[in-house]
């Protein structure tokens, strides 16, 4: 009888502790959502300012300052200009482990300026716009980090929260330079999100990529009087593109190759002595990219021989594919379902349907529902991201949230329009809450951290991270900072 009573007492104590832990978790998550809601006015104002700044890669001086200054005003210790980039920074709060990071982006895309309206019209013709919603990205991530900082400050959580201001995702990949400098090495877990057209926990990878330039150098001559004295760099470039296009038949279906001719002669009556082509190669895996890249470098050598010119191949940058962490995604999914769908007004749906009409896609309106976790596709669609590099250093928990009209063009005017009004704002608020709630899980649940790490190590399989960038500092733009 005494054994039975003791057993019942232990069960009661265990159940009580479990209930208290659950209440604590719910309480901390409620605190996250209240914190984010309390900052709505400031978040919207910051995102709209960054939307209006529309600063492109490594020129995001106003955007980075806005976010860094706000983090500092909230009690974070801010280190600016990290990894050799004036627009990169780290904001930290707390001490000890776990150390949880969250990524924020804020660079715009050139040439897609757009008013916040459902028909195409530039705000300032020829200038940049946030066609990928990065004006929302950094703000939501910072708000999420602040909600955790408040819990650490109140003694409800223990550890360190770290917000990374990461520039130039759309170009050279600022995170790659930060990764090369070891700025993510001590993290236990890292979070990020991305604007999209639906809400899904991150179970899909991205494409690995290498970004490079091929230059051809020849010898100028009069194209009519003595062309035999010339060696055409454009002949070399054309032979190179012919070779690349022949190669397309002999690569795997997962490979993508695209290029732009940057320099191809000045006038017809001069044999051109210089030509330049900018090229990207993508594949599902980095080793696949490298295999194709080696062949393309040989094509460049052969093209130079054909034309009797010199070829120079220079790597600009390159991304790893994202290393998916399904354990972290499942933890995120529970919080998405707890939050429930985003509810849109009639006016917001009309706005989105007008964009869809103009874009000649089905006018279905906005999709704010929570999608279930889906199997990881080993041949991911879409583009590349420097988040991939971070995901090979630390377990990355990811999220996509609706900020635009489904089916409308991305990296284009349609998302710029939505990112500058309430459709984008609602997605930003949702993302901040979902990440903050999942960070509570990570801080409170040591077993979750262990399980996330175990999957990461299994998927990484001993690979040693090596960035796909040249030696030396980041390629900073030649500009005089504006006061």
Q: Which pLDDT band, with edges at 50, 70 and 90, does 309 fall under?
A: very high
What angle (nearest 5°) sits at the alpha carbon of residue 275, between those of residues 269 and 276? 150
Residue 459: which of 382, 393, 387, 381 has the closest Cα?
393
Residue 25 has pLDDT above 60, yes or no: no
Strand, coil or helix: 206: coil
Percentage, residues of the chain above pLDDT 90: 91
**Cis amide leading into 470 (omega within 30):** no
- What was the pLDDT predicted at 428? 98
Mean local confidence (pLDDT), 363-390 = 91
d(CA 473, CA 469): 10
Mean local confidence (pLDDT), 454-462 = 97
Cross-strand partners of 318: 210
Question: pLDDT per residue over 89-116, tens digit each?
Answer: 999 999 999 999 999 999 999 999 999 9
* 253 neighbors 265 (Cβ within 8 angstroms): no
- What was the pLDDT predicted at 380? 83
d(CA 429, CA 437): 12
Residue 214: which of 240, 248, 239 has the closest Cα?
240
pTM across the whole model: 0.91
Strands 396-402, 189-196: pairing is: parallel
Report which DSSP code applies to 220. Answer: -
Residue 377 has pLDDT above 90, yes or no: no
d(CA 265, CA 261): 11
d(CA 344, CA 287): 43
Report which DSSP code applies to 231. Answer: B
Q: Which pLDDT band, with edges at 50, 70 and 90, does 26 fall under?
A: low
- What was the pLDDT predicted at 336? 98
Residue 430: which of 25, 37, 156 has the closest Cα?
37
Go through the domains of the chain in sequence order and give each one's CATH number.
28-198+327-460 (3.40.630.10), 208-319 (3.30.70.360)
Question: pLDDT per residue over 252-266, tens digit each?
Answer: 999 999 999 999 999
Q: Cα dihedral sign for 12, 14, 20, 25? A: negative
Residue 9 has pLDDT above 50, yes or no: no
Q: Which pLDDT band, with edges at 50, 70 and 90, does 382 fall under?
A: confident
Mean local confidence (pLDDT), 441-452 = 98
Q: What are phi and psi of 213, to 5 degrees?
A: -115, 140
Q: What is the mean pLDDT of the chain?
A: 93
Question: pLDDT per residue over 202-237, tens digit each?
Answer: 999 999 999 999 999 999 999 999 999 999 999 999
Q: Which pLDDT band, with edges at 50, 70 and 90, does 75 fall under?
A: very high
Mean local confidence (pLDDT), 195-199 = 96
Percentage helix, strand, coil, to 5, in the chain?
Answer: 45, 20, 40
377 contacts: CB under 8 Å, gap ≥ 6: 204, 205
Lowest mean pLDDT among 11-20, 44-53, 326-335, 411-420: 11-20
Residue 462 has pLDDT above 70, yes or no: yes
Residue 165 has pLDDT above 90, yes or no: yes
Residue 472 has pLDDT above 90, yes or no: yes
Q: Which pLDDT band, with edges at 50, 70 and 90, does 478 fall under?
A: confident
Return the structure tokens found at 191: 């979070």
- What was the pLDDT predicted at 6? 45
- What was the pLDDT predicted at 248? 97
Q: Which pLDDT band, with edges at 50, 70 and 90, does 376 fall under?
A: confident
From the number of C-beta atoms within 10 Å of its C-beta (0-12, 13-18, 19+), residue 216 rates as: buried
Most confident of 19-23, 56-60, 476-480: 56-60
Residue 21 has pLDDT above 90, yes or no: no
């Amino acid at each position: 009888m005494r054994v039975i009573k003791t057993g019942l007492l232990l069960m009661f104590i265990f159940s009580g502790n479990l209930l208290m832990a659950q209440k604590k978790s719910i309480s901390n998550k409620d605190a996250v959502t209240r914190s984010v809601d309390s900052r709505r006015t400031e978040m919207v104002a910051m995102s709209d300012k960054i939307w209006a700044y529309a600063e492109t890669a490594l020129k995001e001086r106003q955007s980075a300052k806005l976010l860094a200054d706000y983090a500092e005003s909230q009690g974070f210790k801010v280190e600016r200009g990290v990894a050799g980039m004036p627009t990169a920074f780290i904001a930290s709060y707390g001490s000890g482990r776990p150390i949880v990071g969250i990524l924020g982006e804020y660079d715009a895309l050139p040439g897609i300026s757009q008013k916040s309206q459902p028909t195409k019209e530039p705000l300032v013709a020829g200038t940049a716009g946030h066609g990928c919603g990065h004006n929302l990205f950094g703000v939501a991530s910072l708000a999420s980090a602040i909600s955790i900082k408040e819990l650490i400050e109140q003694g409800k959580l223990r550890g360190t929260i770290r917000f990374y201001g990461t520039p130039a995702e759309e170009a050279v990949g600022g995170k790659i330079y930060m990764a090369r400098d070891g700025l993510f090495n001590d993290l236990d877990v890292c979070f990020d999100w991305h604007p999209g057209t639906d809400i899904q926990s991150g179970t899909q990878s991205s494409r690995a990529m290498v970004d490079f330039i091929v230059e051809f150098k020849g010898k100028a001559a009069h194209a009519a009087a003595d062309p035999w004295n010339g060696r055409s760099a454009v002949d070399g470039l054309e032979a190179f593109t012919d070779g690349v296009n022949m190669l397309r038949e002999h690569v795997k279906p997962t490979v993508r190759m695209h290029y732009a001719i940057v320099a191809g002669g000045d006038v017809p009556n001069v044999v051109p002595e210089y030509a330049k082509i900018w090229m990207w190669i993508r594949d599902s895996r980095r080793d696949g990219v490298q295999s194709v890249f080696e062949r393309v470098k040989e094509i460049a050598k052969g093209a130079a021989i054909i034309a009797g010119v010199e070829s120079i191949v220079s790597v600009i940058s390159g991304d790893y594919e994202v290393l998916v962490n399904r354990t972290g995604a499942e933890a995120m999914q529970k919080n998405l379902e707890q939050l429930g769908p985003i509810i849109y007004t009639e006016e917001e749906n009309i706005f989105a349907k007008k964009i869809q009409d103009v874009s000649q896609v089905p006018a279905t309106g906005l999709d704010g529902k929570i999608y279930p976790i889906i199997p990881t596709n080993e041949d991911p669609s879409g583009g590349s991201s420097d988040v991939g590099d971070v995901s090979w250093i630390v377990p990355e928990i990811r999220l996509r949230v609706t900020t635009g009209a489904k089916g409308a063009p991305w990296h284009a005017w349609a998302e710029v329009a939505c990112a500058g009004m309430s459709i984008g704002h609602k997605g930003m608020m949702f993302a901040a809450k979902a990440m903050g709630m999942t960070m509570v899980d990570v801080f409170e649940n040591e077993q979750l951290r262990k399980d996330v790490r175990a999957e990461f190590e299994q998927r990484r399989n001993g690979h040693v991270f090596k960035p796909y960038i040249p030696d030396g500092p980041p390629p900073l733009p030649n500009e005089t900072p504006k006061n």
